[in-house]
């Protein structure tokens, strides 16, 4: 029986775990990977104490900090459901079932898919959702980046050092990103920006070789060997069953929490990008992680 089970080990989950260790809680951490989506960023420039650090470097710092404490850490394990019976939570993964007095959901988000022909067929065969992970595989090749936010521009900037040519494809003529990143793309001879352009199909044989786009009503074929889909993310969903009713979500399927990171289920907390917090930032997720553990500690002190 654990005092606290934390699902996820991104900025929110790791901070929650650090606070739990300092509070001497018997804590279980379940995670697919340490660092979460923060580990995929090529540049983190707004995290206090680091003027500049890459996502993988920050994730490594997170991991070192987490493993300096005595915690039960289950890596490469995915939580699939939570059930509450008589004030005890049963957390099921694909491998085990664990019992806990409290739970913090901090499993972040997953990339949003285009849901177009060819996407499923060529996933990991030229289609990728992580430039930091996969950009080196496309050295000297022609590629496309789909999206108009910071993640898309981040992918373009990484690929400028690696790829031969980059098409930046945006559905509208509006870019929701930092201007400095957009300026770097606009000033690169390698980058061709296609605005008001819709991606219709990914084409290939064993691997991606072309993509079909629609620009201002005219169909166009682009010869590319790689497609980076960077169109945002959706919350990671876990099935939650309790005697206290359904877990409340907003229209975007984000978990609704109050200022104490409490959900509508007593003893169940949530932190980070999986919640309805308005801004998805590493520092905000970390802050929520600390709040969630302090709230869980307060809850435990009242039920013991």
Neighbouring CB atoms inside 10 A of 105's CB total: 31
Distances (CA, A) of 277 to 6, 19, 112: 18, 20, 19
Asked if 26 contacts 83 with a C-beta cutoff of 8 angstroms, the reply is no
> Sign of dihedral through CA atoms 170, 174, 176, 181?
positive
Active site includes 134?
Answer: yes
Residue 33, classed as helix, strand or coil, is strand
Token pair for residue 158? 């990484």
Active site includes 261?
Answer: no
d(C-alpha 175, C-alpha 151), whole Å: 11
Task: Please pick, among 3, 72, 130, 154, the residue that the annotation labels catalytic.
Answer: 130
d(C-alpha 189, C-alpha 166), whole Å: 9
Task: Please pick, among 3, 72, 133, 298, the residue that the annotation labels catalytic.
Answer: 133
Q: Which residues of 235-266 are buried (b: 16+ CB within 10 A; e: fewer)?
A: bbebebebeeeebebeeeebbebeeebbbbbe
The full DSSP string for 224-280 is -SEEEE-S-EEEPP-EEE-TT-PPPB-TTSPBP--TT-B-SSTTEEE-GGGB--SS-
Reduce the secondary structure of 64-88 to three states and give it as a string. Answer: HHHCCCCCEEEECCCEEEEEEECCE
d(C-alpha 161, C-alpha 135), whole Å: 9
Report which DSSP code applies to 149.
B
Active site includes 130?
Answer: yes
Task: Please pick, among 134, 154, 177, 261, the residue that the annotation labels catalytic.
Answer: 134
Q: Which residues belong to the active site? A: 130, 133-134
């Amino acid at each position: 029986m654990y005092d606290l089970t934390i699902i996820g080990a991104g900025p929110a989950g790791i901070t929650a775990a650090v606070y739990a260790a300092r509070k001497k809680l018997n804590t279980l951490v379940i995670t697919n990977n340490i660092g979460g989506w923060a580990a995929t960023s090529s540049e983190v420039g707004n995290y206090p104490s680091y003027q500049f650090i890459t996502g993988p470097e920050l994730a490594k710092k997170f991991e070192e900090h987490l493993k300096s404490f005595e915690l039960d850490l289950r890596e490469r394990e995915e939580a699939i459901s939570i059930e509450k019976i008589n004030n005890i939570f049963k957390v099921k993964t694909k491998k085990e079932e664990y019992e806990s007095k409290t739970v913090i959901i901090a499993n972040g988000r997953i990339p949003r898919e285009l849901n177009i022909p060819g996407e499923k067929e060529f996933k990991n065969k030229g289609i990728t959702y992580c430039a930091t992970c996969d950009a080196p595989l496309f050295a000297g090749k022609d590629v496309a980046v789909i999206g108009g936010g910071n993640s898309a521009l981040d992918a373009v900037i990484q690929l400028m050092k690696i790829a031969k040519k980059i098409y930046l494809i945006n559905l509208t003529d509006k870019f929701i990103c930092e201007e400095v990143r957009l300026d770097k793309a606009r000033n690169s001879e390698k980058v061709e920006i296609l605005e008001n352009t819709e991606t219709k199909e990914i084409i290939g044989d064993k691997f991606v070789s072309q993509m079909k786009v629609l620009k201002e009503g005219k169909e166009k074929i682009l010869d590319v060997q790689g497609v980076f889909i960077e169109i945002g993310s959706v919350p990671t969903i876990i099935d939650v069953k309790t005697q206290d009713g359904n877990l409340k979500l907003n229209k975007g399927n984000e978990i609704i929490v109050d200022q104490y990171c409490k959900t509508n289920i007593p003893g169940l907390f949530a932190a980070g990008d999986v919640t309805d917090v308005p801004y998805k930032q590493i520092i905000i997720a970390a802050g929520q992680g600390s709040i969630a553990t302090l709230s869980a500690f307060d809850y435990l002190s009242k039920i013991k």
